[in-house]
Amino acid sequence: MAETINQWAVFTIVLSGLALMAGVFLIRGGNREAHMKAMLLASGLATVFLVLYLTRLGLGYEKKYIGPNRGAYLALLISHIILAAANLPLALLALWNAWKGLKAAGNLRNIDLPAARGYFNRHRAWVRWTVPVWLYVAVTGWIIYLLLGRYGEVIKA
């Protein structure tokens, strides 16, 4: 069961990364509504991933890396873990400011209203850090998953 949960976790985080990239392209194209939907989807999928990942750990399913270049693997893993922990508050702050801005604006056509502008400016400032960190965490997570698929040994809890 834990292995199935692990596969679903990977599936959800891959979809989350794709939705994140779609959201970035959509906002660069000026499509605010589709951007918002893509980012909510990315955030929802990342939340499902986190629940599945923690459930898998709670069930005692873990793999140990037994492949070559253990130092390089550990450097990748450590950077992934640190930035994954940092990404949660970054993403929450970005979402919070977007939500507050939307609430102040009333709708996406009014985001330039003075009451909303500050929130959207802070949202943009936070996402300049959040998106690269989120993408790094997603990509390194996929790499770690593939490496453990090839060079991992299940640890019996």
CA distance 134 to 49: 13
Q: Confidence band (pLDDT; 50, 70, 90) for 94? A: very high
CA distances from 42 to 8, 12, 116 (A): 15, 9, 23
pLDDT value of position 1: 84
pLDDT value of position 157: 61
Count of domains observed in the chain: 1
Model confidence at 16: pLDDT above 70 = yes
Percent of the chain at pLDDT exceeding 90: 86
pLDDT value of position 141: 92
Q: For residue range 28-37, list pLDDT tens digits in order.
A: 999 999 999 9
Q: Confidence band (pLDDT; 50, 70, 90) for 61? A: confident
For the segment 104-113, the average pLDDT, to the nearest whole number, is 93
For the segment 64-83, the average pLDDT, to the nearest whole number, is 96
DSSP the chain: -HHHHHHHHHHHHHHHHHHHHHHHHHHHTT-HHHHHHHHHHHHHHHHHHHHHHHHHHHTT-EEEE-SS-HHHHHHHHHHHHHHHHHHHHHHHHHHHHHHHHHHHHSSGGGTTSHHHHHHHHHHHHHHHHHHHHHHHHHHHHHHHHHHHHHHEEEEP-
For the segment 149-155, the average pLDDT, to the nearest whole number, is 91
CA distance 100 to 119: 6
Partners of residue 154 on adjacent β-strands: 63
What is the average pLDDT value for the chain, to the nearest integer? 94
pLDDT value of position 60: 85
Extract the tokens encoding 103.
Answer: 């609430």
Domain of 55, in residue numbers: 2-155
Q: What is the CATH number of the domain that holds 44?
A: 1.20.120
How many residues belong to the chain?
Answer: 157
Model confidence at 48: pLDDT above 90 = yes
Q: Confidence band (pLDDT; 50, 70, 90) for 140? A: very high
The number of angstroms, rounded, from the C-alpha of 55 to the middle of its chain's C-alpha atoms is 17
